[in-house]
Amino acid sequence: MSSKDWIEKDYYAALGVQKSASSDEIKKAYRKLARESHPDHNPGDPKAEERFKTVSEAYAVLGDEAKRREYDEMRSLFGSGAFRRGARGAGQPGGVPFDVSDLFGGGGAGGADTRFGGGGFTDLFSSIFSGGGGAGGPARPRGPARGRDVETEVALDFDDAVRGVTVPLTLRAPGVCDTCHGDGAKPGTRPKACPVCHGAGVTTRNQGSFSFSEPCRTCQGVGTVVEEKCPECQGTGGVTKTRTLNVRFPAGVADGQRIRLAGRGEPGERGGPAGDLFVQVKVRPDELFGRTGDDLTLTVPITFAEAVLGTDLRVPTLDGAVTLRVPPGTPSGRVLRARGKGVVRRDGQAGDLLVTLDVVVPAVVSDEARATLESFAEQTPPAAREHLDARVRRVG
């Protein structure tokens, strides 16, 4: 990603958010667009793949607070039109033709490659005023570029998410070339030091009072060139391949959680380090149990007689059953707790099973049951509703 990209590309528009959007809004927009345009969901659709790359590039900047600040500062400085070609200085009738691309070496004949090694606002000005090396030091090579991060989604059953599970995950994505092992050179040969920059990865040119350092056009800032390219990957060091990874999801993984697998993303350019693989977890709901943090939840119906007289209630857990005591006079909605029967935490401790009692009122009763209930009602004091009756009298 070049500094020129930061000026020319509107990453907020790519994600469909306002410049004032919060981090959560940016993340939500990215996840939605990434899911919609992911190559796995749009096989053989180059436009969808390009959209996926665009939103991923935008989120790589806007999703990082430091990069977002630099991006906003650079856009603010160079995005107002003051640095467009043909802009005229005060008191200079003819003006001096100047374009922002001149800063990056892309302005016309003799212009150099526009790419800076993934930097932003700081890299731009350190390149202008210190020859590209930072703090006045010598220029440093960019080196092989790190591969991009990859994101995918996996759906897990409720039990598997609670207990932990290993899932084979098949991905079709760029991978390291098996023929050249990522360096891009034909087997039996090695990349050689760039004859233009002599391995530095950058070249320096003078323009008036300034000295500009920029990535070498010959080696693209890597510092080496491949004279005999690998026949499999054509010198890129990577090929598209199908690979299967056995991904271990720890016990207690939650819906929406993001698992990071370091170094399992796209391979780096010509031997650079690989990016990371992020797996978004989607947990399928269970027919009985719910979940709140590390606690499991369960709703159990009981009869009116059980609520009044009390009972011993046998309820299921994930690994057996427990007996809970329902005390006499239990109201509907009371929650009973079975300690240690929830989700096991990483420290070995477990959450609880929370059982909500639901008193079921029958829609139809027999004549004998009705007579018994009427007798019960006659012998039972009415519910205390004086505070309600007082309000009714006031408003009535």
Q: Which residues are annotated as a binding site for Zn(2+)?
A: 177, 180, 194, 197, 216, 219, 230, 233
Q: Are strands 224-225 and 150-156 parallel, antiparallel or unpaired?
A: unpaired
Backbone angles phi, psi at 352, to 5 degrees: -115, 165
In b/e form, how buried is each residue of 13-36, taking b as 16+ CB within 10 angstroms?
ebbebeeebeeeebeebbbebbee
The total number of residues written for the chain in this structure: 396
Across 42-176, where does the E strand assignment appear?
150-156, 165-176
**Could you tell me which residues come within 8 angstroms of residue 358 by beta carbon, excluding any fewer than 6 positions away?**
299, 300, 301, 302, 332, 333
Write down the residue that tokens 């939605």 correspond to.
32
Across the chain, where does the E strand assignment appear?
150-156, 165-176, 192-193, 202-207, 210-215, 224-225, 238-249, 258-261, 277-283, 290-292, 295-303, 311-317, 320-326, 335-338, 353-360
Using an 8 Å Cβ cutoff, are 175 and 201 in contact?
Answer: no
Count the Cβ atoms, other than its own, within 10 Å of residue 134. Answer: 15
Q: Which residues lie across from 225 on neighbouring strands?
A: 192
Annotated binding site: 177, 180, 194, 197, 216, 219, 230, 233
Q: CA torsion, points 130, 134, 136, 140, in degrees to nearest 10?
A: -90
